[in-house]
Amino acid sequence: MSLMRSLLLAAAQNRWLRDHATHYSFVRGTVSRFMPGETLDDALGAAQTLRGKNIGTVFTYLGENIKDHSEAQQVAEHYLEVLERIREKGLQTEISVKLTQLGLDFSPDLCFEHLKAILKRAQKDSVIWVDMEASNYVDATLDLYRRALTAHPNVGICLQAYLHRTKDDLSKLLPLRPSIRLVKGAYNEPPEIAFARKRDVDEKYFALGKEMLRAKKENRCVRAAFGTHDVALVRRLADLASAEGFAKKDFEVQMLYGIQRVEQERLASEGCTSIVLVAYGSYWYPWFVRRLAERPANLWFVLRNVFAG
């Protein structure tokens, strides 16, 4: 892992930086590249614009590791309201939740109740995605995911290709007919837990993606979504899907708001399922710094905003 990436991932966890950096206009200016705004209305506006381009959306309300039960309750209630607003606007937008935001740290049972309430409120043809967080949460997240999937087929899980364990996790999930979003992985993990070299992560991603496509073809996977901006990987997987006779709309790619916009539109215009994850909320600092770590060249945007401001 590059030194810059490690430094940025450490900075993402730094409370002092979080409390101070978010007040600077050049930081806020850069953030606007990756999120349409802090409020749900901003996210809904972006979803409507993207829908005009045949691009679907998934919303995520930013925040991690909340402190008490009442905060978990507030987040769950917020998501219930989001589902109502999506329905009112006639949008097909889905949501993606972090279990730590729903209370995983202090009560997995309470967290499960919140997740169930959200799943019950969602439209049946709309998936509620569960994010995957740092590696110490993987067992608990998969455990709750399996419990939820037993009663609610409309729940999806994120798996991270950089973890050594993911091949096994995928094999164990497939008999349950899951929906899976495959990503490379965004946290700072040691080499015993995660592949460190980009080349290894990319090859792992392709191998797992191939397995997901095979499972989808055999009806053992409901949604096989590729959460990546890696255009070369997307093309390799799209070629494989086409060779296997997949309809275009069954090839699904999810990207983050503001990243690889041309590719998002190209996929949509070809008839593939192109989805953009729209993040909003005032707790954006760690999320934003992880976006910088994924591509340290993004620091140039920060610098440009220093001089612009």
Ligand X SMILES: Cc1cc2nc3c(=O)[nH]c(=O)nc-3n(C[C@H](O)[C@H](O)[C@H](O)COP(=O)(O)OP(=O)(O)OC[C@H]3O[C@@H](n4cnc5c(N)ncnc54)[C@H](O)[C@@H]3O)c2cc1C
List of residues contacting ligand X (CB under 6 A): 131-132, 158, 160, 183-187, 227-230, 254-256, 259-260, 277, 291, 294-295, 298
3-class DSSP assignment, residue 34:
coil
Strands (E), 31-105: 56-61, 94-97
Token pair of 42 as six digits: 């901003």
* In the complex, least distance from residue 294 CB atom to ligand X, rounded to whole angstroms: 4
103 close to 110: Cβ distance less than 8 angstroms: yes
CB nearer to ligand X: pick between 53 and 70: 53
The least distance separating ligand X from the CB of residue 256, rounded to whole angstroms, comes to 5
Q: In angstroms, rounded to a whole number, what is the distance separating the alpha carbons of residues 198 and 125? A: 35
Judged by CB, which is closer to ligand X: 228, or 273?
228
Query: Nearest Cα to 105, choosing from 67, 56, 74, 58?
Result: 67
Known catalytic residues are 131, 181
Tokens of 157: 């899980």
Report whether 47 contacts 58 (CB < 8 A). Answer: no
Contact 58, 49 (CB under 8 A): no
**Shortest gap between Cβ of 174 and ligand X (angstroms)?**
19
- DSSP string for residues in 152-163: -TTEEEEEETTB
Task: Indicate the residue among 28 and 229 with the shorter CB distance to ligand X.
Answer: 229
C-alpha distances (whole Å) from 128 to each of 31, 48, 60 are 25, 19, 10
- In the complex, the smallest distance separating the C-beta of residue 24 from ligand X, rounded to whole angstroms, is 19
Residue placing its CB nearer to ligand X in the complex, 213 or 255: 255
Q: What angle do CA 143, 210, 266 make, to 5 degrees?
A: 105
Give yes or no for a contact between 106 and 68, defined as CB atoms under 8 angstroms apart.
Answer: yes
CB of 218: closest distance to ligand X in angstroms? 25
**Cα–Cα dist 1/136, whole Å:** 19
Go through the chain and tell me how many residues it has.
309
CA pseudo-torsion sign 122, 218, 215, 174: positive
User: What minimum distance in Å lies between the beta carbon of 197 and ligand X?
Assistant: 12
Beta carbon nearer to ligand X, 37 or 296:
296
DSSP state of 259: S
Residue 44 or 278 having the CB closest to ligand X: 278
3 state DSSP class of 128: strand
